[in-house]
Amino acid sequence: MRRRARYLTISFVIVILLAAGCSVTPPLLRVLMNARGGQQEGTPVALAKVEDITIAGPGGQLPLRIYTPEGTGHFPLFIYLHGGGWVFGTLDQSDNVCRYFAGKVGCIVISVDYRLAPKHKFPAAVEDAYGATQWAAENAKRIKGDPARIAIGGVSAGGNLAAVVCLMAKDRSGPPLVFQLLAYPPTNISTLETASYRDFARGYGLGKSHIEWYRKHYLEDKEDGKSPYASPLLAVDLSNLPPALVLTGEFDVLRDDGEAYAKRLKEEGVPARYIRYANMGHIAHWTMESGQAGDALQQAAFALDHAFSQ
């Protein structure tokens, strides 16, 4: 209860500071978010092995954390990309959730510590996410994984990156992916003029001004936001992408982004399931709690397990 109170207090401070615009710098935001402790409620799932490694990434050494479940393998692999507006987020803040997926689904989870803005602007995070996916495919057997069963997913900015990696894999002829999990994803950051941005701009947690702040730090200029690798909804062709589960919250400014992306996937022949959670705002991090937020995590695990069993 004390941890939950601290989470709410720090989250409220973050919202107030971000609303003040220049009062918050990316380093300060990272300090505040790290202090809140991520979503570490609940007992961490025990696994056979959790290992921190570094690989050669597009911009230098790229840290990964690999979660291996009990068993002999070869396990399916799930590339996980944390949220944080491309500006903050750590491997530790996603630790419980990655453990949950590894234990619940029986897959190897590879959590990616991609480069963050504004020091590393677009497309640094995108290239790191794709580079980690390539590494997973090339080294799957070495870590007891199955290179024929690789999925990718993430929450918030991580959902954006996951969708983009699927586009990149299609454009660059691999690696093949079997599923994409997109939770509360921004899919078009070239414009913030949807109905959900208008209706929930203030008073629902994450607001329109916050997205503007993240976008300013992530992109070199607004024109970059028109790239499909920043805004996957703007891709000319979404056919032949992996099956998807797209999750949104009713009161999330990003709701219409996720809904529009799921609709386009379906229209272009991609098996896509869309779930909108009523009376919920934006969830920047998965939660281990019960209720609708916990249900979203369970739905994600069920969908991932189903994709791997096909």
Out of 156, 196, 227, 231, pick the active-site residue.
156
Annotated catalytic residue: which of 95, 224, 252, 257? 252
Give Cβ neighbours of residue 247 (< 8 Å, ≥ 6 apart): 182, 183, 184, 258, 274, 275, 277, 296, 299, 300
> CA 189 to CA 277: how far, in whole Å?
22
Which one, of 7, 69, 66, 77, lies nearest residue 284 by Cα? 7
The conformation of residue 103, written as its DSSP 8-state character, comes to: I
Q: In degrees, to the nearest 5, what angle opens at C-alpha 41 toward C-alphas 298 and 292?
A: 35
Cβ atoms of 49 and 72 within 8 Å: the answer is no
At 199, is the secondary structure helix, strand, or coil? helix
CA separation for the pair 192, 201 (Å, rounded): 10
Q: How many CB atoms lie within 10 A of CB 51?
A: 10
CB 238 within 8 A of CB 268: yes
* Residue 257 a catalytic site member: no
Q: CA nearest 68: which of 145, 166, 3, 13?
A: 145
Q: Give me the sign of the Cα torsion angle 207, 115, 181, 219.
A: positive
Distance CA 11, CA 285 (A): 12
Tokens standing for residue 28: 């300060």
196 included as an active-site residue:
no
Q: Residues 82, 217, 282, 285: which is the catalytic one?
A: 282
Could you confirm whether 173 is annotated as catalytic? no
Helix (H, G, I), strand (E, B) or coil at 136: helix
Residues 160, 235: Cα–Cα separation, whole Å:
13
d(CA 204, CA 253): 8
- Mind telling me the catalytic residues? 156, 252, 282
